[in-house]
Amino acid sequence: MKKGAAAPFFVLVYGQMNTSGKDQKRMQELKYLAGYSEQVTGQVQRLIAEQRLGEVLLKRFPSAHEIKTDKALYDFTVELKNQFLRKTPPLSKVVFDSKINVIHHALGLHTFISRVQGSKLKAKNEIRIGVVFKTAPMEFLRMIVAHELAHLKEKDHNKAFYSLCEHIEPDYHQLEFDLRLYLTHLDLIGPLY
Ligand SMILES: [Zn+2]
In percent, the amount of the chain with pLDDT more than 90 equals: 51
What span, in angstroms and rounded, lies between the C-alpha atoms of 77 and 129?
Answer: 11
pLDDT of residue 168: 96
CA of 142 to the centre of ligand 1 (A): 14
Q: For residue 76, what is the domain's CATH number?
A: 3.30.2010.10
CA of 1 to the centre of ligand 1 (A): 22
CA of 149 to the centre of ligand 1 (A): 9
For residue 41, is it within any domain? no
pLDDT of residue 69: 97
Model pLDDT for residues 99-123, shown as the tens digit of each residue? 776 654 445 455 555 555 555 555 6
96 and 168 in contact (C-beta within 8 Å)? no
Model pLDDT for residues 142-183, shown as the tens digit of each residue? 999 999 899 888 888 889 999 999 999 999 999 989 998 999
What span, in angstroms and rounded, lies between the C-alpha atoms of 184 and 50?
Answer: 15
Model pLDDT for residues 16-32, shown as the tens digit of each residue? 444 454 444 444 478 88
Assign residue 118 a region: left if phi > 0, alpha if psi is -120 to 50, beta otherwise? left
Domain that holds residue 132: 70-170
CA of 108 to the centre of ligand 1 (A): 6
For residue 26, is it within any domain? no
What span, in angstroms and rounded, lies between the C-alpha atoms of 33 and 39?
Answer: 12
pLDDT of residue 81: 96
CA of 172 to the centre of ligand 1 (A): 13
Number of domains in the chain: 1
CA of 74 to the centre of ligand 1 (A): 18
pLDDT of residue 77: 97
> Could you tell me which residue, 104 or 40, shows the higher pLDDT?
40
Task: Share the mean pLDDT of the chain.
Answer: 81
